């Protein structure tokens, strides 16, 4: 049996005000090619199907199209909800979908969803655990000590009728960490993941006995603890911090019990998301302009700020997302103790100094008057 593991589709996402829907459609098409070429039997979608709990119309349309394609290819499809999904909305139509071999577990209802499949080596049990918090699980087992995410997942699994003498696959959308290793965050997971504490982490030993654990939640593709517990990662780069991380999807082949093979298939986006750094003149020299359709984050090292830098860059790279500076001024700013700098100074003095620091010249009277007026309106000064 051959399985494609994907996660964190975030359909309908915008990055720096750029709508990613075309890029998402492109990458889903690439997945369909992989499914055809590799003769995939089942697709596991490990949560964060949508970017938000109320998905945009085009995001719903795109998922509808993707699921129709999968159903048309007779691919068995399994979906769990992530923390970005609304369980009620994702659950819509799930009974009807079952007829087309699309299995959705969007909300934990006290029973871990199980689908029994089989191949030439016997039975394969596919278990679907939607994103859960401790309180949701506690609700079903009020007498048990369920305080952390780890407690919650252990309780869910303890109440499932697992037989580890057979082959078992689990899909989950949680923060899972090995004992010693660090999890590499992609950067676009959202604040809830970025601020995650150790209390919310789930130990990999929770999953001892499973032949493969298909995880979603972390956007950097990686294994956790062992090769067969892994995050597929998001399908696309959704932040500057992901610029240097190539995206891939695991294709997992199951033989007899104990025989699992993982192959990572690299994804090639329609437009890459790249970070370029240097002086404006050099970055925009004709020989240095490559893939002008790409999403570009620019760090300018020019000492003087460039007027209308964004407009200029968008003439060369129309999908320029952000421009920042790294020069003597910005480095100086990093070492500045704000409290000390502002001590005993009036608002106008602070603004004048800041202006001089940023632009290397004095603020004009007219500009200073505007800033003072703004401060009065904002209630900062009298």
Residues at the contact surface with Mn ion, assessed by CB under 5 A: 8, 48
The minimum distance between CB 83 and Mn ion, in angstroms, equals 7
The strand ranges marked E within 83-181 are: 102-105, 113-119, 122-129, 167-173, 176-177
What minimum distance in Å lies between the beta carbon of 11 and Mn ion? 11
In the bound complex, what is the minimum distance in angstroms from residue 218's beta carbon to Mn ion? 8
The distance of closest approach from Cβ of residue 117 to Mn ion in the complex, given in angstroms and rounded to an integer, is 26
Give dist(CA 251, CA 262) in Å, integer.
6
Contacts of 339 (CB under 8 A, 6+ apart): none
Q: Which is nearer to Mn ion, 10 or 274 (CB)?
A: 10
Nearest-CB residue to Mn ion? Answer: 48
**In terms of DSSP H, where are the helices of the chain?**
21-37, 57-72, 87-91, 94-98, 134-138, 149-158, 191-194, 280-283, 309-316, 328-334, 338-342, 347-359, 365-378
Cα 362–chain centre separation: 44
Distance CA 287, CA 285 (A): 6
Could you tell me the two tokens for 96? Answer: 């009807």
Q: How far is the CB of 216 from Mn ion (least distance, A)?
A: 7
Closer residue to Mn ion (CB): 52 or 159: 52
Residue number with CB closer to Mn ion (200 or 353): 200
Q: Kindly state the smallest distance separating residue 24's Cβ from Mn ion, in Å.
A: 13
Of residues 231 and 317, the one with the C-beta less far from Mn ion? 231
Closer residue to Mn ion, CB minimum distance, 225 or 233: 233
Read off the tokens for 23: 């890029």
Between 41 and 48, whose beta carbon lies closer to Mn ion? 48
Candidates 128, 126, 72, 127; CA nearest to 100 is: 72
């Amino acid at each position: 049996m051959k399985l494609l593991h994907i996660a964190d589709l975030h359909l309908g996402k915008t990055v720096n005000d750029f709508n990613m829907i075309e890029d998402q459609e492109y990458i889903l098409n690439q997945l369909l090619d992989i499914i055809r070429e590799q003769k995939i039997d089942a697709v596991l979608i490990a949560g964060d199907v949508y970017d938000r709990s109320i998905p945009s119309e085009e995001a719903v349309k795109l998922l509808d199209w993707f699921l129709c394609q999968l159903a048309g290819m007779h691919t068995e499809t399994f979906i769990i909800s992530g923390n970005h999904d609304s369980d009620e909305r994702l659950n819509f139509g799930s009974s009807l979908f079952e007829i087309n071999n699309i299995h959705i577990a969007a909300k934990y209802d006290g029973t871990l969803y199980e689908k029994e499949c089989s191949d030439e080596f016997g039975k394969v049990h596919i278990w679907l655990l939607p994103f859960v918090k401790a309180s949701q699980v506690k609700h079903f087992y009020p007498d048990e000590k369920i305080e952390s995410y780890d407690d919650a997942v252990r309780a869910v699994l303890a109440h499932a009728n697992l037989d580890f003498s057979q082959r078992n696959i689990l899909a989950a959308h949680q923060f899972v960490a090995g004992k010693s290793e660090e999890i590499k965050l992609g950067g676009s997971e959202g604040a809830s993941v970025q601020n995650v504490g150790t209390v919310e982490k789930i130990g990999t030993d929770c999953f001892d006995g499973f032949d493969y654990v298909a995880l979603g939640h972390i956007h950097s593709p990686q294994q956790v603890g062992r090769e067969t517990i892994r995050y597929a990662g998001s399908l696309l780069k959704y932040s500057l911090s992901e610029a240097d991380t190539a995206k891939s999807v695991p294709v997992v082949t199951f033989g007899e019990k104990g025989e699992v093979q993982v192959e990572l298939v690299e994804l090639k986006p329609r437009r890459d998301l790249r970070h370029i750094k240097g002086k404006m003149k050099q970055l925009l020299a004709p020989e240095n302009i490559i893939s002008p359709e790409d999403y570009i984050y620019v760090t300018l090292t020019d000492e003087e700020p460039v007027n209308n830098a964004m407009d200029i860059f968008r003439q060369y790279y129309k999908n320029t997302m952000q421009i920042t500076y790294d020069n003597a001024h910005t480095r100086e700013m990093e070492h500045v103790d704000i409290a000390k700098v502002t001590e005993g100074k009036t608002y106008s003095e602070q603004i004048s100094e800041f202006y001089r620091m940023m632009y290397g010249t004095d603020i004009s009277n007219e500009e200073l008057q505007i800033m003072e007026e703004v401060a009065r309106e904002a209630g900062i000064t009298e």
